[in-house]
Amino acid sequence: MTDFHAAIPKAELHLHIEGTLEPEMMVALAARNRVAIPFASVEEVRAAYRFTDLQSFLDIYYAGAEVLRTEEDFHDLAAAYFDRAAADGVVHAEIFFDPQTHTHRGIPFDTVARGLFAAVEGAQAKHGMTVEIIMSYLRHLDEDDAFATLKLAEPWLDRFVGVGLDSSEVGNPPAKFARVFAASRERGLKLCAHAGEEGPPAYIHEALDVLKVDRIDHGNRAMEDPALVARLARAAMTLTVCPLSNVALRNVDTLADHPIDRMLDAGLRATIHSDDPAYFGGYIAENFRSVAAARNLSRAQVVTLARNSFLGAFLTDATLAGHLATLDTFARAHP
């Protein structure tokens, strides 16, 4: 049965497509591509998903990506995600992929892009969902590597909506990528960066001041810096918050301690998303459902979160107005 949290129309803005690799697909693709993985069964894969911090997750996430080899693999991965997203009320998705995770293993950039865009076309036809793709630079690598990635992306640039910055945050501040973000902006791309997930509030300031981002991914640690909260609120900067990820990576102790409603109360344009749902225990509706239960969110607060997801999306004014009207109709029908 579709509940309120799955039914409410929403945009997914923080989703790493590599993080949707379910253990079943990992095992199936390992067999299809004859890739050895250090797990004998789906149960063993699932049992390995116990994380102590971001890096302990990233180690497994990059190892899992080894099974992704062909255009068909990337298509199948993304198509499975779009089916789940549609069932979760997602009408617009802006998804990340990490090109360097694949090019560093000898998988051509074009193989990845062709597979993903084939799935995007399928999702548009099958679900009427609109989809954009954001290419994320890996921040544990150097800026020259990001520039090389931007060059590989050249033939695809008019099809990507933006660039992002992810991977190991602490020790890899936003300023490390100042030039490649400026170059990406010059090419007409929107800019996002993970900031304040594990890194300090200063990294959020830097993402704003140096990278000049259009959106902050996570941003939870802004709550430690009242002046930063005021600044983000004044700028109506979107923070794409991922509650199940925050618990799985121990950025918050339990969902009952999650700051989502305090972020809304502080005037922040916070939204709810799924990050790496195959690894963190649930897709976007489950993120809404479980944090709403744990923090006793009202329906009005949930509607605000969904509205913020559209306001934070890289949509044209006309498309945005259409989504907001649909959401208002839904909200009136579910008081």
CA distance 117 to 141: 26
| Residue closer to ligand HPA (CB basis): 74 or 331 | 74
Q: Does 166 bind ligand HPA (CB under 6 A)?
A: yes
Q: Which residues contact residue 27 at a Cβ distance below 8 angstroms, ignoring those fewer than 6 apart?
A: 37, 39, 41, 42, 45
| Residue closer to ligand HPA (CB basis): 5 or 16 | 16
Q: Does 71 bind Zn ion (CB under 5 A)?
A: no
# chain residues binding ligand HPA, by CB under 6 A: 11
Measured from each CB, the residue nearest to Zn ion is 275
> What's phi and psi for 242, nearest 5 deg?
-130, 90
The arrangement of strands across the sheet holding 130-138 comes to 10-12, 90-97, 130-138, 160-166, 190-195, 215-218, 238-241, 269-272
The catalytically annotated residue of 197, 198, 206, 286 is 197
- Residue 307 binding: pick among ligand HPA, Zn ion, none (C-beta 5-8 Å cut-off by kind): none
Report whether 194 belongs to an annotated binding site. Answer: yes
Q: Does 276 bind ligand HPA (CB under 6 A)?
A: yes
Residue 97, CA distances (Å) to 65, 117, 160, 204, 218 in order: 11, 12, 11, 22, 17
Site mask for Zn ion (CB under 5 A), range 214-233, x = bound: --------------------
Site mask for ligand HPA (CB under 6 A), range 176-215, x = bound: ------------------x--x------------------
Name residue 175's amino acid: A
| Residue closer to ligand HPA (CB basis): 197 or 206 | 197
Whether residue 197 lies in the annotated active site = yes
CB of 189 closer than 8 Å to CB of 160: yes
CA distance 225 to 331: 33
CA distance 218 to 138: 16
Long-range contacts of residues 29-35, Cβ cutoff 8 Å, at least 24 apart: 29/67, 29/68, 29/69, 29/73, 29/76, 30/67, 32/73, 33/67, 33/69, 33/70, 33/73, 35/66, 35/67, 35/69
CB of 40 to ligand HPA, least distance (A): 25
CB of 204 to Zn ion, least distance (A): 15
State which of positions 33-72 bind ligand HPA (CB under 6 A).
Answer: 54, 61
Place of tokens 């300090």: 200
Report whether 14 belongs to an annotated binding site. Answer: yes
CB of 49 to ligand HPA, least distance (A): 13
CA distance 275 to 42: 21
CA distance 85 to 123: 10
| Residue closer to ligand HPA (CB basis): 181 or 315 | 181
State which of positions 283-302 bind ligand HPA (CB under 6 A).
Answer: none
Measured from each CB, the residue nearest to ligand HPA is 166
CB of 187 closer than 8 Å to CB of 163: no
Angle between helices 109-127 and 71-87 (to 10 degrees): 30
CB of 292 to Zn ion, least distance (A): 21
Q: Which of 275, 279, 297, 308 binds Zn ion (CB under 5 A)?
A: 275
| Residue closer to ligand HPA (CB basis): 16 or 205 | 16
| Residue closer to ligand HPA (CB basis): 69 or 218 | 218
CB of 16 to Zn ion, least distance (A): 6
Q: Which residues are catalytic?
A: 197
Judged by the rule CB under 5 A, the positions of this chain that interact with Zn ion are 275
Judged by the rule CB under 6 A, the positions of this chain that interact with ligand HPA are 16, 19, 54, 61, 166-167, 194, 197, 245, 275-276
* Binding annotation for substrate: 276
